[in-house]
Structure 1
Amino acid sequence: AAAPTAPTAAAAAPKTPAAAPAAAATTVSSAGTEAGPPAPAGPATRRLARKLGVNLKQVKGSAAGGRITIEDVEAFVRERMTQPAVPAAAPAAPGFGVVQALPLPDFSRFGPVEKQPMNKIFRTAASNLHAAWVTIPHVTQHDLADITELEAARRKYVKANPNAPKITMTAIIIKAVVQALKAFPNFNSSVDMQSGELVVKQYYHIGVAVDTPNGLVVPVIRNCDQKNILQVAAELAEIAGRARDRKLKAEDMQGGTFTITNLGGIGGTAFTPIVNYPEVAILGMSRTINHLILENGQIAERQMLPLSLSYDHRAINGADAARFIVKLSGSLTNFLELF
């Protein structure tokens, strides 16, 4: 899955790549700094543009009066990163603005090949995942959450209320994540290396990775702390349906503060999801497994949910990551506090 992203990587680089030629670099902006009247944008947007080497005169603003937002700059960068490489006339601005296009061998020398064009969603996801991987020092913390009673209660409720929004495990996880984010605010932040600040958000917009026939997308459910479990479940079903029907708008995939990716319906016991930049953490869910444990001297079977928490080590240390996932697991075991 990917970030967003991005939750699963679309392609892997060679283990020991040769140095890419200078002409293969893809620069975000080739026009240098702004000339003439400044483009309409706020201070935070300008800081991001400087960091990424973006000329704001080249960016189309989506806000009122053509004002350029942070999301506009990020979209501009993603688009440029997916374009074919062109020779660079001058060195790019330092930081996030250059993605090296590594040369590939002629695979047809070894046997038949088929070249399949990447669609727009796939190209965008690939660029986002690459940018996140080279920018963020990733660490992944794994745990097992005992959901025996929670899953039994969930199934019982769904069966007794067929006309109500279906409460899925993902919807429950969203509510549990919000509680953990409130207890550990650094997980609800972004790293601003230019200003040397951690931008901690006071809102809780949770992105959910959705696997569609056209690729991975990450729609966002906003203000999850202000919604009960039924509201979250209903909105999750609605926005996932629109994602699969290709009816999402750009704003449906913007503003997330934390991402969840659920591979439980497919299989696997653990994985390492890639953080959805500029967020600092992502939670992966795998298929539920049954464990035999010793409980009060007796062997008991418990239903366990594997959790994989990847995080940005610049913003989060290992001890806090362990505390976060323990808090999350505890919320699922003592689930009544979520409702």
Structure 2
Amino acid sequence: MALFTFRLPDIGEGISEAEIVGWHVKVGDRVEEDQPLADMMTDKATVEMESPVAGTVVELAGEPGDQVAIGAMLVTIEVEGAGEAPAAPPPPEEALVAEMPGEQVIEAAPETEEASASSAPVSSQPTAPLSAPSAEPRRDVQASPAVRARAKELGVDLAQVKPQGDRIRHADLDAFLLYGSGQGYKPAGRSVARPDEVVKVIGMRRRIAENMAASKRHIPHFTYVEEIDVTRLEEMRERLNETRGDRPKLTMLPLLIVAICKALPDFPMLNARYDDEVGVVTRHGAVHLGLATQTDAGLMVPVIRDAQDRNVWQLAIEIRRLAEAARSGKAKSEDLSGSTLTLTSLGPLGGVATTPVINRPEVAIIGPNRVIERPVFRGKEVVAAKLMNLSISCDHRVVDGWDAASFVQAVRRLLENPVLLLSD
């Protein structure tokens, strides 16, 4: 028998170290060649490291959240023979789970036996049945049929309810339900405390913390919000969906993206990235739009390349493709980097207004909010209109408030006159 040291290989991104996101093995496990050992996260992606040999695991480099330098020991494996190291594995061509800048992904760390024991959910105990009072309960309970029926439905013994008068009324039953009897009954609606949970901030969640802190620390944000009448836009969207065939259903997002791309040429300071370390702003000619996407693992931001060259149907297809890739964990690293402007939307949960955090080193982020139908004046008439607030947060070091407001007004004109979205 001999010991083989598997060292963390150069993943090919010019990095000096990677973080342990999670282990697939533990000390004492038997592993086969090409069996997954660990998930390691770099600045760009999470990659799966596989064993180059078969044997028994005798040592691991650390715990989830620890950093391992390139070339340092990751796993020591006891193998048969002399234990000579095979060639290092080639750099992975595709990340299984990838991180994007800005608002990003949450990686769940595997539980150790100790963590599992400490965080095991408390078993749910059934509510104790109502116990009889120490004194003989009243047998001459006076209550109307309606009160008796309600008490039966709630499982309340009326003998335990103290009336304020000569008979038990609904108010007496309400008081019993609100304050309880002290004899095992839990009033309806009372929340139940659960055990404290300690969650280690590692992996993607740590990247989120670092990136968001850096964004708020370095960027002086300001947010501008404007109300937009999208009544005609929604009518046009409904008509387009009636003729969509096998194409994906149009949401508001493809139409909004077209409006953004049409307005941006007059506001190049918004489609930009600011390298504050060297004091250079790069104003991009193409719109590579980051689109915040909610997944089970957290928020990911896949990128629509050259959004300015796509029509509403092409945008809808690309949005669906990127969303499915992100939610299934199959998004490639190139799908999750290189954005020049980000669009973040909470969909039907959009709220009245948002103040989104900029996806550094970008200089702006746009957030549509929920569409709400409200009465508005059209001349002297009051009519129903569908209204939506549009938020934009900007880096005040390189974007002036006038420019941000003027851009949103340009987008507003396009959305309120949707025929312009489909014209050249």
Do they fold alike, i.e. is TM over 0.5?
A: yes
SS, match of residue 265 in structure 1: helix
Residue number among 356, 368, 377 corresponding to 1:285 in the alignment:
368
Q: Deviations over 1:22-80 (max 9, x none)?
A: xxxxxxxxxxxxxxxxxx99xxxxxxxxxxxxxx67379xxxxxxxxxxx99649xxxx
Q: Deviations over 1:106-162 (max 9, x none)?
A: xxxxx9621124463333222221111111110000011111011011012213324
Q: Work out whether 1:246 is the aligned partner of 2:329.
A: yes
Q: Work out whether 1:215 is the aligned partner of 2:298.
A: yes
Call closer, same or farther: CA 1:174–1:57 in 2, change over 3 Å. Answer: closer
Between structure 1 and structure 2, the one with the greater Rg is 2
SS, match of residue 287 in structure 1: strand
SS, match of residue 248 in structure 2: coil
Q: Deviations over 1:264-308 (max 9, x none)?
A: 322411111000011100011111112322112111111111111
Q: Which amino acid aligns with 2:321?
A: E
Cα distance in 2 between the residues matched to 1:284 and 1:176: 14
Higher strand share: 2
Structure 2 partner of 1:153: 236
Q: Work out whether 1:187 is the aligned partner of 2:301.
A: no
Call closer, same or farther: CA 1:299–1:132 in 2, change over 3 Å. Answer: same
Q: State the percentage of identical aligned residues.
A: 34
Cα deviation, residue 329, structure 1: 1.1
Structure 2 partner of 1:295: 378
Residue number among 247, 260, 265 corresponding to 1:177 in the alignment:
260
Cα distance in 2 between the residues matched to 1:214 and 1:75: 16
Matches within 5 A, 1:182-331: 182-331=265-414
Cα distance in 2 between the residues matched to 1:188 and 1:267: 24
Q: Deviations over 1:294-332 (max 9, x none)?
A: 112111111111111001001101111110111111111
Structure 1 contact 122–214 (Cα < 8 Å) conserved: no
Cα distance in 2 between the residues matched to 1:120 and 1:282: 24
Structure 2 contact 275–361 (Cα < 8 Å) conserved: no
Q: Could you state the TM-score of these two structures normalised by the residue count of structure 1?
A: 0.67
Cα distance in 2 between the residues matched to 1:191 and 1:272: 20
SS, match of residue 262 in structure 1: coil
Q: Structure 2: which 5+ runs fail to align?
A: 1-11, 19-40, 46-63, 68-193
Single out whichever of 186-195 and 118-127 deviates more from structure 2. Answer: 118-127
Call closer, same or farther: CA 1:277–1:167 in 2, change over 3 Å. Answer: same
Cα distance in 2 between the residues matched to 1:269 and 1:126: 26
Structure 2 contact 349–370 (Cα < 8 Å) conserved: yes
Cα deviation, residue 188, structure 1: 0.8
Q: Deviations over 1:206-245 (max 9, x none)?
A: 0100011110000000001111111111000111111111
Q: Which amino acid aligns with 1:171?
A: P
Q: Which amino acid aligns with 1:208?
A: L
Structure 1 partner of 2:139: none
Structure 1 contact 119–214 (Cα < 8 Å) conserved: no
Which segments of structure 1 move beyond 6 Å, counting only runs of 4 or more?
none
Aligned Cα RMSD in Å?
2.6
Q: Work out whether 1:58 is the aligned partner of 2:16.
A: yes
Higher helix share: 1
Call closer, same or farther: CA 1:247–1:118 in 2, change over 3 Å. Answer: farther
Cα distance in 2 between the residues matched to 1:227 and 1:152: 22
The answer to which structure, 1 or 2, has the higher relative contact order (CA under 8 A, 6+ apart) is 1
Cα distance in 2 between the residues matched to 1:288 and 1:126: 31
Figure out how many residues of one structure are paired with residues of the other and give that number.
245
Cα distance in 1 between the residues matched to 2:199 and 2:281: 41
Q: Structure 1: which 5+ runs fail to align?
A: 1-39, 42-55, 61-71, 77-81, 86-110
Cα distance in 2 between the residues matched to 1:83 and 1:246: 20
Cα distance in 2 between the residues matched to 1:227 and 1:207: 15
Cα distance in 1 between the residues matched to 2:368 and 2:302: 17
